[in-house]
Amino acid sequence: MASFVRLGRLDPYELFASTMRESRPVMETMYYGAFTSFTRRNGLLKEALWRQCDQDYDGVFGELGLGVRLSGRTYDTSHLHAEAQIMDLQADQFASLVLCFGDDVAQRFRRAVLGGGASLYPGYGPTYHGERLTTLLRVGSNCYRHISEWDDMFTRLPYPNAAEFAPGSLERKALQNIEIIQRVFGIGVHELIRDLVSWRILCTIDGQYGTAEPSYDRFETALISAGRDIAHAAGKDALARLDTKLCERGLREAVA
């Protein structure tokens, strides 16, 4: 696929619309897989908690004076915690694939119609906690690729200020990503960024986890909105060309 893209240099509007359409079945599976894994993780932790309560009823409920008598059995909950940890990681892995897909589609389109390399700013698409969609996608992709490097780069807390390092340096770029993650997700300055944050970002974009069923449509609509923002910034007939291609690929609702 990549070799043909390099050789053929497809029309960027055609490439954006076709990629959104043809990649949907796979990305939709990854998207729902992330939410299913995280829901499973929560269920396992809840089960472990209740089993622990059952085991400790004499001490816990007795001290509270509730007079509740459960079975009093002894449970080994280590396997539940282990599986919950696996589900937590799996949710991040599935989410990472969706975020990397979205970042590549948006950045490829932006470079084609606006020029320049991949960047955090300016961002395009809907805003989440003060940051635009494409910025969050790039941060999520960077975190997925480089989090182990961040652990090696920065061994003290709080993290250094990005301004302490030269513009364009790896340290400065890493810290700019870290600062966004801290700000968007309320992570304290004395906390290491150890998890991939992919799940957090995907959940933020969906926006309705816990109150409604997850929907890939929400992610797709947000990504298409970012593409339309990029086309609008390109001026001339760019937005009309993109909308035409989106409609040809059956993505009319996202254009409306």
Structural domain boundaries enclosing 192: 92-251
CA–CA distance from 182 to each of 103, 134, 199 (Å)?
20, 17, 15
Q: By the 8 A CB rule, do 18 and 249 touch?
A: yes
Residue type, 93: Q
Q: Looking at the predicted structure, is the pLDDT value of residue 1 above 70?
A: no
Residue type, 14: E
Q: Is residue 32, in this structure, part of any structural domain at all?
A: no
* Mean pLDDT estimate for the chain: 84
Q: Is residue 157, in this structure, part of any structural domain at all?
A: yes
Q: Is residue 63, in this structure, part of any structural domain at all?
A: no
Label residue 127 by pLDDT band (50, 70, 90). Answer: very high
Q: Is residue 22, in this structure, part of any structural domain at all?
A: no
Q: Is residue 75, in this structure, part of any structural domain at all?
A: no
Q: Is residue 87, in this structure, part of any structural domain at all?
A: no
Q: In the chain, pLDDT over 70 holds for what percent of residues?
A: 85
Q: How does pLDDT run across 108-118, given as a tens digit for each residue?
A: 999 999 987 77
Q: Looking at the predicted structure, is the pLDDT value of residue 158 above 60?
A: yes
What's the whole-number mean pLDDT along residues 56-74? 52
What's the whole-number mean pLDDT along residues 39-59? 73
- Total number of domains in the chain: 1
Query: How far, in Å, CA of 74 to CA of 62, rounded?
Result: 17
- Give the 3-state secondary structure of 79-90: HHHHHHHHHHHH
Residue 131 parent element (H or E)? strand 131-132
Q: In the chain, pLDDT over 90 holds for what percent of residues?
A: 40
CA–CA distance from 252 to each of 35, 80, 135, 217, 249 (Å)?
26, 45, 25, 12, 8
Q: Is residue 247, in this structure, part of any structural domain at all?
A: yes
Q: How does pLDDT run across 87-115, given as a tens digit for each residue?
A: 888 898 899 999 999 999 999 999 999 98
Nearest in space to 143 (alpha carbons), one of 109, 107, 179: 179
pLDDT for the residue numbered 81: 81
DSSP-derived secondary structure letter, 161: P
Query: How far, in Å, CA of 14 to CA of 117, rounded?
Result: 20
What's the whole-number mean pLDDT along residues 239-251? 91
Q: Is residue 241, in this structure, part of any structural domain at all?
A: yes
| Least confident among 20-34, 157-171, 241-255 | 241-255
Q: Which residues are registered as beta bridge partners of 131? A: 128
